[in-house]
Amino acid sequence: MGRRSSPEVNAGSMADIAFLLLIFFLVTTTFEQDNGVTRKLPRWEPDRIDTEIVIKKKNIFTVVVNKNNQMLVEDNLMELKDLRAAAIKFIDNGGGKSADGKTCDYCKGERSASSSDHPSKAIIALKNERETSYETFLAIQDELGAAYLFLRDREAERLYGQGNTYTKMNKVFRDPQVKDEVLKGKLKKRLDKLKDMYPQIISEAESKKR
Amino acid sequence: MAKFKKKKSGELPQASTAALPDIVFMLLFFFMTVTVMKDGDLMVENKLPSAETVEKLDRKNKKIMYIYAGKPAKGYEKFGTEGVLQLNDKIAQPSDLKQFIYSELALRKEEVIPFMVTALKVDKNVNMGLVTDIKTALRKENMLKISYIAGKPGAKR
């Protein structure tokens, strides 16, 4: 054989192979990005019932959903659209003192004596029946969560300036692409402070049988 | 003097397809990076409700444990018409949750376990009874972080 230059490899079928792989990935993967309403469940303590701590009635905001998906808030029938405002009013009332004797100096509520003492004491108790639909339940959870977010956002803007809302800072803090540890540390401090000002206390009590 | 070659007949030259593989590879890499593997077929109906105050879940380090719930989908009618759970690839009842949680925990590294989140993908037409059963089972096993997976309002699911 002579010293021929080697013939060029035919790349015509490369596109076919790439297409094949492409189609494989199109079929087996999804674009799914999971978004969720995060909550923390209470610990399982079956013996707690007898030794339950006494909580003043005014510090509890009861939301009851029945099997027809109707909502009773503090024993009054309420539409879902009014829930957020009612919850904000309750949490932000600040009528008394917190457990360690501080008054809520940042609350902008009515300071009524018959509503919650302090955001750290204000408990939202959500009760549902077994027949309640999940959609309604989550819509209510969403509204309650939004009430807390509204208050945290408001305080964040007051403390850290216009545009620095809790929602925004939380988004940056949770973004895995942001690698700036100094920034994250700073954000964490701020977020924790805000969470401390308006702790989210939603109790999802056991649903009643029947 | 330049010479102008006359083209044979008036035909267009054939378009070059040499760049085709590059384009296809580009698409391929795009899909490989942006999408995630499906984790099996759904055997239950799964129309998620919508919510505003959602947070993104971090998929890294297998921190998330999925529990699906809904009415059996088409083709799975033999499991009844009431809401059931789907754990991995099996239709299950709330009583199977304990076993499931242990098997999921065994799959994960020990340091991840305290940060695990249970993602509840529950169909919006399910009754709360089923969800309560799931919550009770999770509480008993001390898996307290949960996330009710929801779509954003307006986005179709």
Position B102 scores a pLDDT of: 92
Question: Would you list the DSSP string of A136-157?
Answer: HHHHHHHHHHHHHHHHHHHHHH
Please give the tally of structural domains in chain B: 1
At residue A190's C-alpha, the angle toward residues A189 and A191, to 5°, is 95
Position A53 scores a pLDDT of: 63
Mean pLDDT of the residues in chain B? 84
Residue A114, pLDDT above cutoff 60: yes
User: A49 Cβ partners below 8 Å, 6+ apart?
Assistant: none
Q: Which residue of B has its CA nearest to A23?
A: B28
Any idea what the CATH number is for the domain that residue B91 is in?
3.30.420.270
Q: What is the pTM of this model?
A: 0.78
Position A1 scores a pLDDT of: 54
Q: Does A20 touch chain B (CB under 8 A)?
A: no
Considering only CB atoms, which chain A residues are within 8 Å of B149? 34-36
Which residue of A11, A21, A176 is in closest CB contact with B58? A176
Find out whether A63 and A129 touch, Cβ atoms under 8 Å.
no
Per-residue pLDDT reduced to its tens digit, A3-12 = 677 887 777 7
Q: Which residue of A has its CA nearest to B141?
A: A44
Residue B45 lies in a domain: no
Please indicate whether, in this complex, the C-beta atoms of A146 and B147 are within 8 angstroms of each other: no
Range(s) of the domain holding residue B142: 60-148
Residue B120 lies in a domain: yes
Please indicate whether, in this complex, the C-beta atoms of B124 and A129 are within 8 angstroms of each other: no
Query: Which residues face B149 on adjacent strands?
Result: A36
Please indicate whether, in this complex, the C-beta atoms of B145 and A40 are within 8 angstroms of each other: yes
Which residue of A30, A138, A206 is in closest CB contact with B148? A138
Please indicate whether, in this complex, the C-beta atoms of B64 and A34 are within 8 angstroms of each other: yes
Range with lowest mean pLDDT among A29-38, A185-194, B74-83, B138-147: A29-38
Cα separation, A156 vs A149, in Å, equals 10
Residue B17 lies in a domain: no
Q: Does A37 touch chain B (CB under 8 A)?
A: yes
C-alpha to C-alpha distances, B135 to A127, B79, B112, nearest whole angstrom:
14, 22, 21
Residue B67 lies in a domain: yes
Q: Does A159 touch chain B (CB under 8 A)?
A: no
What ipTM was assigned to the predicted interfaces of this complex?
0.76
Per-residue pLDDT reduced to its tens digit, A61-83 = 889 888 888 888 888 888 888 89
Reduced to 3 states, what is the DSSP secondary structure of residue A36? strand
Residue B28 lies in a domain: no
Which residue of A25, A34, A40 is in closest CB contact with B32? A25
Helix crossing, B97-107 with B128-140: angle to 10°? Answer: 50
C-alpha to C-alpha distances, A121 to A10, A95, B94, nearest whole angstrom:
75, 11, 34
Q: How far is A69 from chain B (nearest CA, A)?
A: 11
pLDDT level of residue B118 (50, 70, 90 thresholds): very high
C-alpha to C-alpha distances, A130 to A2, A97, A134, B133, nearest whole angstrom:
86, 37, 10, 10
